[in-house]
Amino acid sequence: MTDASVDAKIVLHADDFTRMLKRIAHEILESERGADDVILLGIPSRGVPLASRLGRLLAEIAGRDIPVGALDITMHRDDLRAKPTRAIQPTEIPGGTVDGKTVVLVDDVLFSGRTVRAALDALADLGRPTAVRLAVLVDRGHRELPIRADFVGKNLPSSRDERISVRLVESDGEDHVAIEQGPAS
């Protein structure tokens, strides 16, 4: 949530989200040569509604439903000792398995890479996908692990003294991305 005392600059609006997600949908279909055996798994919290939106766009383009689910990473995070009060979210795997599927992990912001590392660990507990891809709305840089996104809505270089705030209609009543002064997220 945006605090009124925080200096925030909105850098992406609802129209930008639509355009970026459409482009990502086309890129996924092109790279995977269609939608056969593709599953989208959103990383809670904002990755889940983004995965749903992306799934609807893919279905429109491909002319068929694309399975969409959620992947809870809570127990695989490396910051549980520092932040032990994380609520466990449901993991929903469409069709009950990731085996033999191309899994596209969907998240809002790629920063250090630690969330994605936790997602890869959680996914490994569920089975063996043919391939794993990563789609993010915003890549802000500052990686601490050797992880990169396959599909990026917007590269948004930022300083470590800034925070990228993603707001979605589904949870916040509006779509926008802002850069705020304050601790990085």
pLDDT, tens digit, 9 for 90 and up, residues 45-55: 899 999 999 99
**CA-wise closest residue to 67 among 32, 30, 31, 42:** 42
pLDDT, tens digit, 9 for 90 and up, residues 111-165: 999 999 999 999 999 999 999 999 999 999 999 999 999 999 999 999 999 999 9
Phi, psi of 49 (to 5 degrees): -65, -30
Residue in this structure with the two tokens 């355009």, named with its chain if needed:
19
CA dist list (Å): 62 to 4, 24, 41: 42, 13, 18
Q: Residue 104 and residue 42: Cα distance in Å, rounded?
A: 8
Residue in this structure with the two tokens 């992406």, named with its chain if needed:
12
Question: Domains in the chain, please, with CATH?
Answer: 14-80+89-157 (3.40.50.2020)
